[in-house]
Structure 1
Amino acid sequence: MENTIELHGFNNLTKSLSFNIYDICYAKTEEQKKEYIDYIDEQYSADRLTEILEQVTEIIGANVLNIARQDYEPHGASVTILIAEHPVEHLGADTTEEAPGPLPESVVAHLDKSHITVHTYPESHPDDGISTFRADIDVSTCGVISPLRALNFLIHALDSDIATVDYRVRGFTRDIDGTKHYIDHDINSIQNYMTEETRQKYQMVDVNVFQENIFHTKMLRREFDLDDYLFGAGVAQLSDAEQADIERRLQHEMQEIFYARNMPTRD
């Protein structure tokens, strides 16, 4: 479908991009768990998440109307930003074009209606030291602005081990002849809007329902360095057997989340 449809009135299509991102780590002792929680509280505080979402607002072409944010006790945070559509300018590209959006270091945009939200959920396994942090992010827009422009930025800004990404276009808009249009841009995969760097970094699987304008991509980080997942103790302080055991448990956690089902453990 061409992007030059002449519409009758406002573009009533709602475009929603949803992320579930997961950050996995190993924290066995109470001291290590505290170090992990301190890290999460700093990296995913309401203030930092607000900064990220404000940048998302700029990337997609919207203006901030209102910001509500909250850090929770003992853990977690939420941020909601109401945004308003405005003619997109100074982006250097059509925001509905099927192409990757900018990376964090190349954000130069101005934005203006709808909402962006994030909620975080830190948790720890009571026995085996696995801690899994989850953040849910929703970017929902109306009109010509597209949340897909923020895709690469969010993936790199949050730098997660696993991500499940959903994109859906809802409703319809009419052209000047009165014909309904249920989508106003071409798309066959969320991956079309990712950079090559992003696609190389993650193993990805698509589950799409084209006739319903529903697109789903699951992402699992390809590289695994045990040192990146340890709190309190580095790999050098662990025996080979301990390293192998911890790596097995971490990989098992990631596989279960990626495939969304429980799997038998291997001793």
Structure 2
Amino acid sequence: MEQSSIGRIELHGFNNLTKSLSFNMYDICYTKTREEREAYIEYIDDQYNADRLTEILNHVADIIGAHVLNISKQDYVPQGASVTFLISEGPVVEVPTDTREETPGPLPTSVVSQLDKSHITVHTYPEYHPYEGISTFRADIDVSTCGEISPLKALNYLIYSFDTDIMTIDYRVRGFTRDKHGKKLFIDHEINSIQNYIPDDVKKLYQMIDVNVYQEHIFHTKCKLKNFDLNNYLFGYKKDVLSKEEQQVITEKLRTEMDEIFYGKNIN
């Protein structure tokens, strides 16, 4: 289903549409022993601690043209971290010409637009299976904006910032704004798929499924890496130290874990 073309719109006042992007990513690892598991969790907590997450969100704020009002951040014990930005309208220099187009957004550069009453949050969830040797790192990032630019323009950078085996991406436009004649507008930009905001070289790496409700301006895309290399899922060693039987068992466990996350159900 294709959307009708939306040209440049002259609004009655400020753009009151709320555009929300939820980016959910998973990194999966096989950790055979308690020592491996603890080392993996420690590695994740170091790589994605509150300070590093704050740096990532600062770049997101730059991309969507936000002025940061307040930052709240916390590293948790025993693991995990959270960061929340309250953001408002940034300094308006020029609205990017591709703001309304379905194209991937930039990596960190100076991009500015109007924005108000919005927020950016990230929460991390390192966890592990009680006895199957699987450890999983999950991060949830939410970007909610009011204004002309879509938070989808931050998606390319978010994918770039995390080592991701599986991604689940949701986008929704809520509320309405008015044009200069008072007519309600429930969306102000064209969108057929979140995939159009992901670079082609990234899309080639993933199996991707869309579930969209166009009438409600709700868009959902989930992605799973196509190629599987066991070496990428072992922490601190390579598969050569394992027997062929061990490699087969571990591969099956990892693939099952990935499929369960991707399809959202347990596989017996």
Q: TM-score normalized by structure 1?
A: 0.94
1:25 lines up with 2:29 in the alignment: yes
Change (3 A) 1:82 1:117: same
TM-aligned CA distance change 1:168 to 1:92, over 3 Å: closer
Aligned to 2:110: 109
**Cα contact 1:35–1:232 (8 A) shared by 2:** no
Go from structure 1 to structure 2 and tell me whether the alpha carbon gap of 1:92 and 1:143 turns closer, same or farther (over 3 Å shift): closer
Other structure's SS at 1:187 match = coil
Alignment of 1:1-267 (within 5 A): 1-86=5-90, 88-89=92-93, 93-103=97-107, 107-111=108-112, 113=116, 114-264=118-268
Distance in 2 separating the partners of 1:93 and 1:87: 17
SS at match of 1:249: helix
The amino acid across from 1:194 in the alignment is I
Query: C-alpha separation between the residues in 2 aligned to 1:194 and 1:151?
Result: 7
8 Å contact kept, 2:96–2:111: no
Q: CA deviation at 1:90?
A: 6.3
TM superposition shift of 1:144: 1.0
Q: Secondary structure at the match of 1:207?
A: strand
CA distance in 1, matches of 2:90, 2:228: 42
Residue 52 of structure 1 aligns to a residue in which SS? helix
Percent identity of paired positions between Structure 1 and Structure 2: 64
In the TM superposition, residue 91 of structure 1 has moved relative to its aligned partner by 7.3
Please, which runs of 5 or more residues in structure 1 have no aligned partner? none
Please state how far the C-alpha of 1:234 moved relative to its aligned partner. Answer: 1.9
**Secondary structure class of the residue paired with 2:212:** coil
Measure, in 2, the Cα distance between the counterparts of 1:195 and 1:3: 24
Q: CA RMSD in A?
A: 1.5
Deviation at residue 3 of structure 1 after TM alignment = 4.2
Q: SS at 2:15's partner residue?
A: coil
- CA distance in structure 1 between the aligned counterparts of 2:58 and 2:176, rounded to whole angstroms: 28
Query: Aligned letter for 1:109?
Result: S
Give the superposition deviation at 1:110.
Answer: 4.3
Describe the shift of the 1:89–1:203 C-alpha distance in structure 2 as closer, same or farther (beyond 3 A).
farther
Measure, in 2, the Cα distance between the counterparts of 1:124 and 1:81: 29
Q: State the secondary structure of the residue aligned to 1:184.
A: coil
The whole-number CA distance in structure 2 between the counterparts of 1:92 and 1:62 is: 14
Relative to the length of structure 2, the TM-score reads 0.93
SS in 1 for 2:148: coil
Contact (CA 8 Å) 2:211, 2:219: kept in 1 or not? Answer: yes
Deviation at 1:30, TM superposition (A): 1.2
Unaligned runs of 5+ in 2: none
1:169-195 per-residue CA deviation (whole Å, 9 max, x = no partner) reads: 000001111110000000010011111
* Count of aligned pairs between the two proteins: 261
For residue 233 of structure 1, report the CA deviation from its aligned partner.
3.2
Aligned-pair CA distance for 1:41: 0.7
Note the alpha carbon deviations across 1:111-169, whole angstroms, 9 max, x for none.
46310000111111111100111111100000112201111110111121001000000
Q: Deviation at 1:27?
A: 0.5
